[in-house]
């Protein structure tokens, strides 16, 4: 079942002081997120990720297209009882403490009394702020505010959580904790929609991803599938080779490197690979391994940004 349905969503911003001209931040995005998955929304800076999330939260109204969450239109306030949202670079009131802020946010959901106090205590612990639960936020580092932002997104035990760059501002340990929290949410059946430009984090936890660039959807699916489609050749490793081997196979390889006993080769297409493997078997060399060469997500991003 689709929990988030985005259809042809488009947003233009008017920029310029005198002569306003529209700039398209999001261009005809269509997307579906299924119940219970961690969905990664990827793209370089300025791709339109935050704009999409704000449209989903109804902070912006779309130029055209529509978005539905849990079967209700994005502007449906009652539906907001069942979702959570972490804005990009969140900021909260300077003079409140985490406990006060979370209590306030809980009240907006009609919570109160001992159950709310318990929930606040639990969340503060879960995001690692227990020691500073009663300090005013103006003394907080960016990372601490980010953690509090995650906590406030979870106060109502939402069914769907939207996180805009949840790992930004956190050190490696903090990022790991966020990963743990997010996978913990999945175990409880919560759907997570998270945007990021920090790829390894996403690679580690997301079930499916969508890749956005300049407001357009480039690709959606499992990372595995997206990257498999871009196999750019194979790496073959041999041992038991001689100088003669080198001479013979060089024409089929785009790269040849000797590393001690072993020879690392790169064959760019299928014919070359077959020729190399044929030679290996015909001359009784020892085949150590054959691996497809997939680009890392970083490399893939790079090709996107540079332009195809």
Residue ranges binding ligand ADP (CB under 6 A): 13, 15, 23, 25, 43, 45-51
* Sole binder of Mg ion in the list 88, 207, 235, 299 (CB under 5 A): 88
Find the part of the chain contacting Mg ion (CB under 5 A) among 3-11, 15-23, 48-56, 121-129.
48-56
**Which parts of the chain fold into alpha helices (H)?**
49-56, 98-107, 113-126, 142-153, 172-187, 199-205, 223-228, 243-249, 270-282, 297-306
**Which listed option, Mg ion, ligand ADP, another protein, none, makes contact with residue 119 (CB within 5 to 8 Å by class)?**
none
* Sole binder of another protein in the list 46, 92, 203, 221 (CB under 8 A): 92
CB-nearer residue toward another protein: 87 or 215? 87
Rounded-to-integer distance, Cα 133 and Cα 120, Å? 9
* Sole binder of another protein in the list 4, 29, 33, 83 (CB under 8 A): 83
Query: What is the smallest separation between the CB atom of 203 and Mg ion, expressed in angstroms?
Result: 19
51 contributes a contact to Mg ion by CB under 5 A: no
60 contributes a contact to another protein by CB under 8 A: yes
Whether the Cβ atoms of residue 239 and residue 288 lie closer than 8 Å to each other: yes
CB-nearer residue toward ligand ADP: 47 or 153? 47
**Burial level of 229, CB count in 10 A (0-12/13-18/19+)?**
exposed
58 contributes a contact to another protein by CB under 8 A: yes
Query: What is the smallest separation between the CB atom of 293 and another protein, expressed in angstroms?
Result: 42
CB-nearer residue toward ligand ADP: 9 or 124? 9
**Which listed option, ligand ADP, Mg ion, another protein, none, makes contact with residue 46 (CB within 5 to 8 Å by class)?**
ligand ADP
CB-nearer residue toward another protein: 58 or 121? 58
Question: Phi first, then psi: what are they for 260, rounded to 5°?
Answer: 65, -125
107 contributes a contact to another protein by CB under 8 A: yes
Whether the Cβ atoms of residue 232 and residue 293 lie closer than 8 Å to each other: yes
Strands 83-86 and 160-164, bridge-based pairing:
parallel
Query: What is the smallest separation between the CB atom of 173 and another protein, expressed in angstroms?
Result: 25
| Closest C-alpha among 125, 198, 130, 205 to residue 161 | 205
50 contributes a contact to Mg ion by CB under 5 A: yes
Question: Phi first, then psi: what are they for 93, rounded to 5°?
Answer: -65, 135
Q: State the first-to-last Cα distance of the chain, in angstroms, to the nearest integer.
A: 34
Rounded-to-10 torsion of CA 78, 82, 88, 94: 80
CB-nearer residue toward another protein: 102 or 210? 102
131 contributes a contact to another protein by CB under 8 A: no
CB-nearer residue toward another protein: 140 or 241? 140
- CA–CA distances in Å: residue 55 to residues 62, 70, 97, 220, 245: 6, 15, 29, 19, 60
* Sole binder of another protein in the list 90, 169, 174, 215 (CB under 8 A): 90
Q: Which residues of the shown chain bind Mg ion in the complex (CB under 5 A)?
A: 49-50, 88
């Amino acid at each position: 079942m689709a929990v988030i349905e985005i259809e042809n969503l488009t947003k233009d911003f008017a920029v310029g002081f005198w002569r306003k001209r529209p700039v398209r931040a999001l261009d005809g995005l269509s997307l579906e997120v299924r119940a219970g998955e961690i969905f990664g929304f990827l793209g370089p800076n300025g791709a339109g990720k935050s704009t999409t999330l704000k449209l989903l939260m109804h902070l912006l109204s779309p130029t055209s297209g529509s978005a539905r969450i849990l079967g209700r239109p994005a502007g449906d306030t009652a539906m907001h009882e069942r979702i959570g949202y972490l804005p990009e670079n969140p900021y909260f009131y300077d003079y409140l403490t985490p406990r006060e802020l979370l209590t306030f946010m809980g009240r907006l959901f009609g919570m109160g009394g001992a159950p709310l106090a318990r929930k606040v205590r639990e969340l503060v612990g879960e995001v690692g702020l227990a020691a500073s639960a009663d300090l005013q936020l103006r003394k907080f580092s960016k990372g601490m505010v980010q953690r509090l932002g995650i906590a406030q997104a979870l106060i109502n035990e939402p069914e769907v959580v939207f996180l805009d760059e949840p790992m930004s501002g956190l050190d490696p340990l903090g990022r790991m904790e966020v990963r743990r929290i997010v996978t913990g949410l999945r175990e409880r059946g919560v759907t997570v929609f998270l945007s990021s430009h920090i790829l390894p984090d996403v690679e580690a936890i997301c079930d499916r991803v969508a890749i956005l660039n300049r407001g357009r959807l480039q690709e959606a699916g499992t990372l595995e599938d997206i990257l498999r489609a871009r196999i750019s050749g194979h790496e073959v490793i041999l041992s038991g080779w001689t100088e003669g081997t080198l001479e013979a196979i060089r024409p089929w390889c785009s790269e040849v490197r000797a590393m001690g006993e072993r020879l690392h080769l790169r064959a760019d297409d299928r014919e070359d690979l077959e020729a190399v493997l044929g030679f290996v078997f015909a001359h009784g060399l020892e085949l150590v391994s054959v691996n497809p060469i997939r680009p890392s997500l970083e490399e893939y991003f790079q090709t996107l940004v540079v332009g195809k």
